[in-house]
Amino acid sequence: MPRLPFSTKLYYGMAALSMTLPDLMVVQWLLVRYVPPDKPHLVPATLFGLLFLLGRVTEGATCSLIAHWSDVCQSRWGRRLPFMRLGILPFVMVFFCLFVPPIGEMHWANAVYVGILIPTYFILYTTAFTPYLALIPEITSDLKERVDLTTAQSIFMVITNVLFTMAGTVLQQWGWVVLAGAASLLIVLFFLPAATRLREGTKHADAAQEPLRYLESVALALRNRPCRIAMASISVYWFGLNAIIVIIPHWTISYLGRSEGDVTKLMIPFVAVNFVFFFVFNALATKLGKYAMMLVTFLGSGLAMMAFCLVGHLPFGDLFLQSAVVFSMFGAPLAGFMVLPFAVLSDVIDYDAQLTGHRREAIFIGVAGVCQKIMLGLSVLTVTVVPYLGGNGEPTAYGLKLMAFLSGLACIAAFLIFIRYPLREHQGRIRLVN
């Protein structure tokens, strides 16, 4: 069969920046926008956490529905591309509006505004990017070319992390409108080539079968034991990862006494270590297997997050240097999480296809998304409560360190769950070991 052109791999990889950048922006900076650690809040902290949780629950409720719709969609554009083409512009408009609240002080209108836009944002995010993640089998059936596509995707995720480190500096120099506008422009520019130039050409063996009904498809996915274990461990890990990302600006401003621009300085060594270990985890996953490296990712992340509790007690440098060293340590195991979950989920999908005779890529992403989105929402809600313990409406050192410790516990819980994951690679094939 003809090989995929380089442009196809490039376009698919570029869209990963559009998927990752808004997610990072919303996770780390939206709370700062509405609940700034050093300025009057625009929305009460706990109320914001509840609204964010509501948004994540809404996303979780719609994620599997959109995924199933994508699996059974029949159009002249294919199964996935209609969602990508029609969803991206509304998504970007809502993303930009999220960072431009109507009133610059505490007001009920801000709560109503963000309470409407957050669920809308997450629904549109799912509409555009769940089909994108399920697009690979539609582009090619060749396993080597699928690896090439995921490699391109991962490279642009690394590029996104590098760009994201500049968010604090851009915010300090030019403000929220410029930051949100620049991010919106990048999202559109990097997504349009995939949405407009890619084509779905692969036909599956189950194409002539009667499509599964939604509940039947979800039930089959949940009966898949490797799927349940992978979903549970990854979702719990997301709780810890999301919490750490969210508290970094608050850690920098409230605990270290620095400005938004210093968030960039804190993240530079983290991104550098993350970039190096991205290639290390790629190589080790090939040599040692995805199972072993997922365990390293979960356990290493948990220990690195707990190390935040040692800041102020380490025998070198000031608080900022100690924080930078600890945060850079977290960059190493996080590289594994950038590389491995999609590969693990692909193994689960292949195993499921052997059992059921149906390939339902998007429904697995959707079902996994239900658990993940709820955990992400709970994570933000927790961050609006725990870091403020012992303070008068401001984050405290005790609260921030306790949040880091709880994040580490979540990652160790993910490690303990994933120990029971039963799929292993053997001579180029996936097999069940217990």
Dihedral of CA 69/73/79/82: which sign?
A: negative
6 domain-assigned: no
Mean pLDDT of 233-258: 92
Q: Is 316 exposed, middle or buried (0-12, 13-18, 19+ CB in 10 A)?
A: exposed
At 207 the pLDDT is 47
pLDDT at 142 over 70: no
The rounded distance, in Å, linking the Cα atoms of 223 and 220 is: 5
3 domain-assigned: no
For 201-231, write each residue's pLDDT tens digit. Answer: 655 544 445 555 666 666 766 777 888 898 8
pLDDT at 360 over 90: no
Domain of 401: which CATH number? 1.20.1250.20
338 domain-assigned: yes
Number of domains in the chain: 1
Location of structure tokens 């604090």: 168
For 253-307, write each residue's pLDDT tens digit. Answer: 999 999 888 888 888 899 899 888 988 887 888 788 888 999 999 999 999 999 9
39 domain-assigned: yes
Helices of type H across 251-392: 261-288, 290-306, 319-339, 341-356, 361-383
168 domain-assigned: yes
Instruction: Name the average pLDDT for the chain.
Output: 86
Query: What domain range is 370 assigned to?
Result: 12-432
At 99 the pLDDT is 96
Mean pLDDT of 91-113: 95
At 306 the pLDDT is 96
pLDDT at 17 over 70: yes
The rounded distance, in Å, linking the Cα atoms of 73 and 268 is: 43
Predicted confidence band of residue 170 (pLDDT cuts 50, 70, 90): very high
1 domain-assigned: no
Q: 306 - beta bridge partners?
A: none
Q: 294 - beta bridge partners?
A: none
Query: Of the segments 31-35, 424-428, 430-434, which one has the largest average pLDDT value?
Result: 31-35
Nearest to 18 by CA among 201, 206, 212, 160: 160
Mean pLDDT of 37-64: 86
pLDDT at 21 over 80: yes
Candidate from 82-86, 282-286, 359-363, 380-384 with smallest mean pLDDT? 359-363
4 domain-assigned: no
pLDDT at 381 over 60: yes
CA dihedral 102, 107, 111, 113 (to 10 degrees): -20
pLDDT at 22 over 90: yes
Count CB neighbours of 219 within 10 A: 12
Q: Is 318 exposed, middle or buried (0-12, 13-18, 19+ CB in 10 A)?
A: exposed
Q: Is 73 exposed, middle or buried (0-12, 13-18, 19+ CB in 10 A)?
A: middle
* 424 contacts: CB under 8 Å, gap ≥ 6: 289, 291, 430, 431, 433
Q: What is the pTM of this model?
A: 0.79
At 176 the pLDDT is 94
Task: State both tokens at 132.
Answer: 């994108």
**Contact status, residue 34 vs residue 42, Cβ threshold 8 Å:** yes
Mean pLDDT of 376-403: 89
The rounded distance, in Å, linking the Cα atoms of 47 and 121 is: 18
The rounded distance, in Å, linking the Cα atoms of 163 and 155 is: 13
367 domain-assigned: yes
